[in-house]
Structure 1
Amino acid sequence: MKKYLFIFLLTFISFNGFAQITFEPGYIIDNSGKKINCLIKNNGWKNNPTKFEYKIDLNAKIQEGRIYNIAEFSIENGKKYTRKEVKIDRSKSILKRLSKIKEAEFTNETLFLEQLAEGDANLFYYEDSNLVRFFYNLNNNSTTQLIYKKYITENNRIGENTEYKKQLWDNLKCGNLSLNDVKSTDYKKSELLSFFTLFNQCKNPNYLSSAVSQSNSRKVFNLGIRAGLNSASMNFKSPQSSTNFELENNTSIRFGFELEAVLPFNKNKWSLFIQPMYQSFDGEKQLEFQKVSVDYKSIETSIGVRHYFFLNADSKIFINSAFQIDSALDSNINFETSSDFEITPRTSFNFGLGFAHKNANIKLNYNPRRELLSNYSSISSSYNVLSVVLGYNFL
């Protein structure tokens, strides 16, 4: 088992060092207004960036773009960020920290805003942790925040300042856009983008989709089957030393399925997963005065987080860590002449390293220590398992 663990750690370090985020084609516009085609490191930003890395070509050195020296940058078929000097309200939205002031409380800042819509009316987006703000301008004039704010009223209730609806009605009137269209538009990315698209289409009948900053089409959920091979060992320790024993290098199969949810940020490099799998372990050993046998079957349910390192469009390396709930199925440690023990495992953790190509994947998984006899105070039995698991996602 120690040899396998060494291989696991060595492989992890090698893969982790090899895997890199690729630089993707895009452009920057500097302070002079010059547009430069380049390669930009796409971190799949969840929060609006304050800086980014780029290089002029594959062999050039990496440079850093910041708000003070870059007016705009974009990744091909990806997000576009534009530098804007704006007044922003950073009032808290957490219940315990809500302001008692209804009006927006502005500060002057220079930010990279993500451009969502481009046309006669432009829509911009800003996110910083749990702070979400939208901005707009008309005909590329000054950029203004669309105001939405929760606050504490004089009656100690939660009020809502929805001034953004008045801003939309006063400034984006056109054709068949009605007051009901404004009233039904929530302070959400999809709904505001739809409203701005309708306005721009009204102004220009030839106007096409205005989403200049869209997430690439992606799979939100992956569902697949899993099957593999265990190499496991266990030991048993009690005050009665003559019953202590160890079983090593026991090989068995495992199988199950996995449901994975890919998180919509950081370029889809993070996901959450749940993986129920059947596994078993059995063996026997002749002790000094008696024989002991182990019959251990269970359903392991791993609930964890996974991180991907993309190698190219079809291949990626991943690492994961999971909290594991193990439900034993009529499992026991049976002594020939002594008392028998029912196996009732405790929760544990496991760690994995794998490689995926399109819908297929292979993973090395390690569960370093699982206590099998949680119902006994003076007796313990630890279980260690290294697994090779093959998988195929059909959804």
Structure 2
Amino acid sequence: MFFRLKFTLSLLLITLLSTTSYSQVTFEPGYIVDNSGNKIECFIKNVGWKNNPTSFEYRTNFDSEIKNGYINNIAEFSLNNGKKYIRQEVKIDRSKTLLKRLSKSKEAVLNSEKLFLEEIVSGDANLFYYEDSNLIRFFFNTTNTSTEQLIYKKYLTADNKVGENTNYKKQLWDNLQCGNITLNDVKSIDYKKTELVTFFNLYNLCKNPKYVDSKASKIENKNVFNLGIRAGLNSASLDYSSPQESTNFSLENKTTLRFGIELEAILPFNKNKWSLFIQPMYQSFKGEEQLEFQTVSVDYKSIETSLGVRHYFFLSNDSKIFINSAFQIDTALDSNIDFETSSDFEISPRTSFNFGIGFSHNNSSIKINYNPRRELLSNYAAISSSYKVLSVVLGYNFL
């Protein structure tokens, strides 16, 4: 029975992934600027760049062939109400940031590169962002200065401690003094996007009282967190085997309720297609089997806490299919396997994994989840118990 359910779930997953693959290729309105300064309205493939791109795909209309835009032939490109990248010839420090690979030199090692920089503040002073794996750098320019990196570098001191080169604060003070901005204001700025954006907006507003924060890179996440309730049905089975006592039994396809909550965090890249979630749910399982000389009964109640990752396939702005996988910690609540005339066993589950596929529309969702095997008697080495469960879960998010 569970083999057939598992096969059906796998077939459903393959079918849904096949039918939704086209929907992942989204070309959105935007523009490009070529090397001659010509601005061309077009449709750009939005892949939700996490790292700054070196190339991209676009088409002049929905029916035209797909073209490639490269850093050597495109000076600028932007999605309407989305990210904007400007090609710049800049000097960048690529010093390692991992502790075990830190340099012993305090000075930044600057080398010229041609990069697509993401413009995140635009005004009298412009702020740019660059990310490449675990490397994050900020650049800036003003109406009177060329684009340069804001210098921040961690390094190892002579006594093997971590030091910091915070020359970016001096750069800000030297170039962006205005009105009531004080040295202490600059000293308190961390090398983080939110703090630098706030400071650049403050400077631009000081220089121009009519300034409006019109940064091209807008946050796509309407909700960073989703919180909701979950309820559904389990179809579960239990197999028990004790070779030493020659005792074996199976309890098949018991249907029970499950309910709980879920907190989901949407990850800020790849167009909100990835998320992390934690889902504690109450579940129970009861059954009884008549053996040759005695009756055995199972009373299993627990809190299942799933810690997992989820991927979405968008069908429209309101509808999406998702798949998820989770590491599951199961906490049993006064649960036992009771034999009528022999020893009883306390249920103490091991950790396990589950897999699921579902569909959501606005704040509502339905999901099929499968846990292929969970060992319930982890404290007893000579006994094997396999708990399998297929669940259908309904959900509703408040946030």
TM-score, normalised via structure 2 length = 0.93
CA distance, structure 2, for counterparts of residue 158 and residue 373 of structure 1:
48
Deviates more, 1:125-134 or 1:197-206: 197-206
Q: What is the aligned-residue identity percentage?
A: 71
> Could you say which residue in structure 1 is the equivalent of 2:131?
127
> Could you say which residue in structure 1 is the equivalent of 2:215?
211
> Could you say which residue in structure 2 is the equivalent of 1:94?
98
> Could you say which residue in structure 1 is the equivalent of 2:61?
57
> Could you say which residue in structure 1 is the equivalent of 2:350?
346
Tell me if structure 2 keeps the 8 A contact 1:226–1:389.
yes
For residue 41 of structure 1, report the CA deviation from its aligned partner.
2.3
> Could you say which residue in structure 2 is the equivalent of 1:222?
226
CA distance, structure 2, for counterparts of residue 201 and residue 248 of structure 1:
69
> Could you say which residue in structure 2 is the equivalent of 1:14?
15
Counterpart selection for 1:188 from 192, 195, 199: 192
> Could you say which residue in structure 2 is the equivalent of 1:35?
39
CA distance, structure 2, for counterparts of residue 155 and residue 285 of structure 1:
69
Tell me if structure 2 keeps the 8 A contact 1:117–1:210.
yes
With over 3 angstroms needed to count, the CA separation of the structure-2 counterparts of 1:125 and 1:383, relative to structure 1, is: same
Tell me if structure 2 keeps the 8 A contact 1:122–1:140.
no
For residue 4 of structure 1, give the secondary structure of its aligned residue in structure 2.
helix
**Letter of the 1:10 counterpart:** L
Tell me if structure 1 keeps the 8 A contact 2:90–2:112.
yes
Tell me if structure 1 keeps the 8 A contact 2:220–2:272.
no
CA distance, structure 1, for counterparts of residue 161 and residue 381 of structure 2:
52
Tell me if structure 2 keeps the 8 A contact 1:260–1:274.
yes
CA distance, structure 1, for counterparts of residue 253 and residue 86 of structure 2:
59
For residue 242 of structure 1, report the CA deviation from its aligned partner.
5.1
Regions of 4+ moved over 6 Å: none
For residue 377 of structure 2, give the secondary structure of its aligned residue in structure 1.
coil
> Could you say which residue in structure 1 is the equivalent of 2:74?
70
Total equivalences in the alignment? 395
Matched, 1:306 2:307: no
CA distance, structure 2, for counterparts of residue 52 and residue 69 of structure 1:
11
> Could you say which residue in structure 1 is the equivalent of 2:378?
374
Counterpart selection for 1:170 from 158, 170, 174: 174
Matched, 1:231 2:235: yes
For residue 347 of structure 1, report the CA deviation from its aligned partner.
0.7
**Letter of the 2:260 counterpart:** G
Deviates more, 1:296-305 or 1:181-190: 181-190
**Letter of the 2:6 counterpart:** L
**Letter of the 2:164 counterpart:** E
CA distance, structure 2, for counterparts of residue 373 and residue 34 of structure 1:
70
For residue 56 of structure 2, give the secondary structure of its aligned residue in structure 1.
strand
CA distance, structure 1, for counterparts of residue 343 and residue 336 of structure 2:
11
With over 3 angstroms needed to count, the CA separation of the structure-2 counterparts of 1:141 and 1:35, relative to structure 1, is: farther
CA distance, structure 1, for counterparts of residue 122 and residue 51 of structure 2:
21
For residue 181 of structure 1, report the CA deviation from its aligned partner.
2.8
Tell me if structure 1 keeps the 8 A contact 2:243–2:382.
yes
With over 3 angstroms needed to count, the CA separation of the structure-2 counterparts of 1:168 and 1:141, relative to structure 1, is: closer
CA distance, structure 2, for counterparts of residue 147 and residue 310 of structure 1:
39
Deviates more, 1:5-14 or 1:18-27: 18-27
Deviation string, structure 1 residues 357-395 (Cα, Å, up to 9, x no partner): 111100000000001111111111101111000010112
CA distance, structure 1, for counterparts of residue 385 and residue 169 of structure 2:
64
**Letter of the 1:13 counterpart:** I
Deviation string, structure 1 residues 127-178 (Cα, Å, up to 9, x no partner): 1122111111222863111111222233443332222222222222333333
Tell me if structure 2 keeps the 8 A contact 1:242–1:287.
no
> Could you say which residue in structure 1 is the equivalent of 2:366?
362
CA distance, structure 2, for counterparts of residue 365 and residue 63 of structure 1:
41
CA distance, structure 2, for counterparts of residue 189 and residue 232 of structure 1:
48
Deviation string, structure 1 residues 199-254 (Cα, Å, up to 9, x no partner): 22233232211422121352121111110011111111111575211222211111
Query: What are the ranges of 5 or more consecutive residues in structure 2 without an aligned counterpart?
Result: none
CA distance, structure 2, for counterparts of residue 156 and residue 329 of structure 1:
50
Query: What are the ranges of 5 or more consecutive residues in structure 1 without an aligned counterpart?
Result: none
C-alpha RMSD of matched pairs (Å): 1.9
Tell me if structure 2 keeps the 8 A contact 1:310–1:317.
yes
Tell me if structure 1 keeps the 8 A contact 2:376–2:387.
yes
**Letter of the 2:3 counterpart:** K
> Could you say which residue in structure 2 is the equivalent of 1:265?
269
CA distance, structure 2, for counterparts of residue 82 and residue 313 of structure 1:
28
> Could you say which residue in structure 2 is the equivalent of 1:289?
293
For residue 81 of structure 1, report the CA deviation from its aligned partner.
0.8
For residue 237 of structure 1, give the secondary structure of its aligned residue in structure 2.
strand
For residue 53 of structure 2, give the secondary structure of its aligned residue in structure 1.
coil
Tell me if structure 2 keeps the 8 A contact 1:273–1:304.
yes
Counterpart selection for 1:321 from 318, 322, 325: 325
> Could you say which residue in structure 2 is the equivalent of 1:150?
154
**Letter of the 1:9 counterpart:** S
CA distance, structure 2, for counterparts of residue 216 and residue 190 of structure 1:
15
With over 3 angstroms needed to count, the CA separation of the structure-2 counterparts of 1:262 and 1:140, relative to structure 1, is: farther
For residue 191 of structure 1, report the CA deviation from its aligned partner.
2.0
With over 3 angstroms needed to count, the CA separation of the structure-2 counterparts of 1:79 and 1:319, relative to structure 1, is: same
**Letter of the 1:6 counterpart:** F
For residue 286 of structure 1, report the CA deviation from its aligned partner.
2.5
For residue 189 of structure 1, report the CA deviation from its aligned partner.
1.4
